[in-house]
């Protein structure tokens, strides 16, 4: 871990903090919510040792990346997020035509759109946790989740600026992150108003074996500085994303892809998700989908919970190209 280099790169109007390790073909790692470049620590070391250049930024609104106006939700659209990554690739290696992309959770949503908008930039994709979500021309994702789960589901609850931040504040960043990162229930994630974090069942008293106190402290130290607004803005921009991505309705992702999900991942248990993933819908939308892997006994944060398996899955796939 000490060998990982950190630098700031000016991209797309922000200053992006980037962690990097190794030499060789670039593997761009895109983190999710509520995470950081640090979520990829195990994968970076593993791939760097095998001849790759692991590049893991903190996305806009996260960690030591600065300059995104957190009071302006419109600056957190998928076009900004993908634009940041295109600018980053241009800045760190203007001569590299295309790169490997590995992404998880919100990072996976960004990666699907990176492949939709700029397939020329992606050699192959390994996406974790969040399968491709084809755009519903009749309803944005926030309305979709509201229809499925009601107003208390976390995505509708994240919509009002300042509201969820105020509910998190009395607990402190570390307690919030511990609840979110150790959540292992495949059931939907609810945040009933006024109940705050207490509505979420506690993980077992011992931290999940994969998340040490020291690792949790690293996450907490960054979120204590930034707060959660930047991270939650990704959810608040979903209605705008829906409007702006209208031209890509029914568009296919045409990049060689491997998809990995934990057996107990709450996304995998959204009604209709398993049928879509396994019964042909996914393959129709992502025609170059080569493999779907379900990691038995794992939950949402699969790249940290089961690093050895995930490392091998990533390496086995990308070395084919």
Which tens digits make up the pLDDT trace of 128-160? 999 999 999 999 999 999 999 999 999 999 999
- Mean pLDDT across 104-121: 98
Reported as a pLDDT band with limits 50, 70 and 90, residue 195 is confident
pLDDT of 181 = 94
| Number of compact structural domains in the chain | 1
Question: Looking at residues 208-213, what average pLDDT do you find?
Answer: 88
Other beta carbons within 10 angstroms of residue 210's beta carbon come to 18
Say which residues have a Cβ less than 8 Å from residue 280's Cβ, sequence separation at least 6.
Answer: none
Cα maximum dimension of the chain: 52
Mean pLDDT across the stretch 283-309? 97
What is the tally of helices (H) and strands (E) in the chain? 14, 8
Among residues 105, 241, 265, 285, which one is catalytic?
105
300 is catalytic: yes
233-254 residues labelled b (16+ CB within 10 A) or e (exposed): bbbbbbebbbeebeeeeeebbe
Over residues 168-189, the pLDDT tens digits come to 999 999 999 999 999 888 989 8
> What integer pLDDT is reported at residue 43 of this predicted model?
98
Active site residue 276: no
Q: Give the integer Cα–Cα distance in Å for 3 and 262.
A: 30
pLDDT at 26: 98
Domain around 35: 5-319
* Residue 197 pLDDT class (50, 70, 90 cuts): confident
DSSP label at 279?
Answer: S
Q: What is the pLDDT of residue 204?
A: 66
206 has a pLDDT exceeding 90: no
pLDDT greater than 80 at residue 316 = yes
Burial 69-83 (b: 16+ CB within 10 A, else e): ebeebebbbbebbbb
2 phi/psi in degrees, rounded to 5: -65, -25
Q: What is the mean pLDDT of residues 74-79?
A: 98
Cα–Cα distance, 267 to 123 (Å, whole number): 26
Residue 113: active-site member: no
Confidence at residue 146, expressed as pLDDT on a 0 to 100 scale: 97
Question: Catalytic: which of 52, 149, 234, 235?
Answer: 235
- CATH of residue 281's domain is 3.40.50.1820
Determine contact, residues 40/64, Cβ cutoff 8 Å: no
Contact at 8 Å (CB) between 46 and 14?
A: no
Judge whether residue 201 has pLDDT over 90: no
Whole-number percent of the chain with pLDDT over 70: 98
pLDDT digits (tens, 9 = 90+) for 82-100: 999 999 999 999 999 999 9
Radius of gyration of the chain (CA): 18
**CA angle in degrees (0–180, nearest 5) for 29-269-149:** 110
Q: Which of 317, 249, 276, 320 has the alpha carbon at shortest distance from 130?
A: 276
Which among 317, 262, 9 is positioned nearest to 131, based on CA atoms? Answer: 262
Tens-place pLDDT, residues 237-277:
999 999 999 999 999 999 999 999 999 999 999 999 999 99
pLDDT at position 207 is: 66
Task: Tell me the pLDDT band of 205, cut-offs 50, 70 and 90.
Answer: low
Per-residue pLDDT averaged across 220-235, rounded?
98
Question: Is the pLDDT assigned to residue 9 strictly greater than 70?
Answer: yes
Residue 313: what pLDDT?
98
């Amino acid at each position: 871990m000490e060998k990982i280099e950190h630098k700031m790169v000016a991209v797309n109007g922000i200053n992006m903090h980037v962690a990097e390790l190794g030499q060789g073909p670039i593997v761009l790692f895109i983190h999710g919510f509520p995470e950081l470049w640090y979520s990829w620590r195990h994968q970076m070391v593993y791939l760097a040792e095998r001849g790759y250049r692991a590049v893991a930024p903190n996305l806009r609104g996260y960690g030591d990346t600065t300059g995104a106006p957190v009071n302006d939700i419109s600056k957190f659209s998928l076009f900004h997020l993908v634009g940041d990554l295109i600018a980053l690739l241009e800045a760190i290696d203007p001569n590299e035509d295309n790169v490997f992309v590995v992404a998880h959770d919100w990072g996976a949503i960004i990666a699907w759109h990176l492949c939709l908008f700029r397939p020329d930039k992606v050699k192959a994709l390994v996406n974790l946790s969040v399968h491709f979500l084809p755009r519903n021309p009749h309803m944005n994702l926030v309305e979709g989740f509201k229809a499925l789960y009601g107003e208390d589901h976390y995505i509708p609850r994240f919509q009002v600026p300042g509201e969820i931040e105020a509910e998190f504040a009395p607990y402190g960043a570390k307690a919030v992150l511990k609840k979110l990162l150790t959540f292992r229930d495949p059931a939907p994630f609810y945040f009933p108003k006024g109940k705050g974090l207490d509505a979420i069942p506690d993980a077992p008293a011992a931290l999940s074996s994969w998340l040490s106190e020291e690792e949790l402290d690293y996450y907490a130290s960054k979120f204590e500085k930034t707060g959660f607004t930047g991270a939650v803005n990704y959810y608040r921009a979903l209605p705008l994303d829906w409007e702006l991505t209208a031209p890509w309705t029914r568009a296919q992702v045409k990049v060689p892809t491997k998809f990995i999900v934990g057996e107990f991942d709450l996304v995998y248990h959204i009604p209709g998700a398993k049928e879509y993933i396994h019964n042909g819908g996914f393959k129709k939308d992502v025609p170059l989908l080569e493999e779907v892997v379900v990691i038995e006994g794992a939950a949402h944060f699969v790249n940290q919970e089961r690093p050895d398996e995930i490392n091998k899955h990533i390496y086995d796939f990308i070395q084919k190209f």
